[in-house]
Amino acid sequence: MMTTFDPAENLAALIRCPSVTPAEGGALTALQSMLEPLGFHIDRPVFTAEGTPDVENLYARLNGTGPHLMFAGHTDVVPTGDLSLWKHPPFGAVIDNGELYGRGAVDMKGGIACFVAATARYLKKHPDRKPNISFLITGDEEGPAINGTVKVLEWADAKGEKWDASLVGEPTNPDRLGEAIKIGRRGSVTGTVIVHGTQGHVAYPHNADNPVRGIMALLNNLLIPAYDQGTENFQATNLEITSIDVGNPATNVIPAKATASFNIRFNDTWAADTLQQEVSRRLQAAATDSPFRQGKSEPVNYELIWSEDPSHVFLTRNDKLINALNGAIKAITGKQASLSTSGGTSDARFIKDYCPVVEFGLVGQTMHMANERTSLRDLENLTAIYEKFLEDFFA
């Protein structure tokens, strides 16, 4: 039986599994070996979709009484990058100067390791209690997020599973443990604009139609003016242009096509469809009235492609869940955590359709970087926070 009471040992076992998305890499098997001795029933559903890799997931269930709490997260990790930049092997789980190094240490195998240790300690402390706890752990959060959490939720729901609350162990703290609980997330939409022109010689622009001028006009209208000034619970909506490309190696040729991609993180001023309508309106306005067009009378010839399903904005309003977690954080760290909606997306965007969900995990400063690591002290304190949360949630 694996030592499930020690979060550092749990994390080391998970890090040693090279589970670069979407590979299982042994991580779910290691997690299963931790949870089965605690009485959990384990399912390992595999889901598939055309054009995407198969993904293995884990759903562990401890049937008991009272409200049903779901611990949620992912064991897949991003690639290691340049190995020469790592102080220690990324899958070596080396402890150096009180810190445990490895890919996934904070994002988010560390959170899962602490979930397990806290649950083991709680069950040992209360042998007379049998709470309703489940673990929903996916293998593609860092990938396309198609065959993971969203399908496990559908599968479990069809089997009759119902949840009262969920805690996701993503790294939520910017600098120190106890700073922030994520109670919501901004939405996200991604699009691509393609402007079609006419190739020609730069010395004879009247015989060509430069798509770069057109895309400058369109992108300028996407950026200005601001979409909003933020709301009570969310920061302002922002659009970031992530690439501009014409595929043109020559300096004396006007290209035939220009392409730009962008991502928008939006607040509760918008829904995904109303924001997409606003983007379309801005593009259409720029296409017909642009100072970049050099006297061209015809509109910019463009197309807009939405490249993925949008992530919808959400905010959790559940006093029992938030107060139990905030109380546990304050009891262990002495800090009053702020309630945050900043940052990127997570699988909480799927869970929120089934139950109230919040996120709290390790300090995220090194996530996705070379030398990703967490301190042993933070691992122990996070485990203590989760254990206190279990005490209060099931009180």
Q: Which of the residues are catalytic? A: 76, 141
Which residue in the block uniquely carries the two structure tokens 């240490």? 105
Walk across the sheet containing 95-96 and list its strands. Answer: 95-96, 99-101, 373-375
273 marked ligand binding residue: no
The answer on whether 368 is annotated among ligand-binding residues is yes
Q: Which amino acid is residue 154, in one-letter code?
A: E
Residue 92 burial (CB count, 10 A): 14
The answer to whether 170 is annotated as binding is yes
Question: Is the sign of the CA dihedral 345, 349, 234, 284 positive or negative?
Answer: positive
380 is in an annotated binding site: no
Q: Is 50 annotated as a binding residue?
A: no
Output the CA–CA distances (angstroms, integers) from residue 210 to 184, 197, 257, in the order listed. Answer: 43, 6, 8
The partner residues of 68 in beta bridges, in order of sequence, read: 132
Q: How many Cβ atoms are within 10 Å of 98's Cβ, its own excluded?
A: 10
Residues annotated within the binding site are 74, 107, 142, 170, 368
Residues annotated within the binding site for Zn(2+) are 74, 107, 142, 170, 368
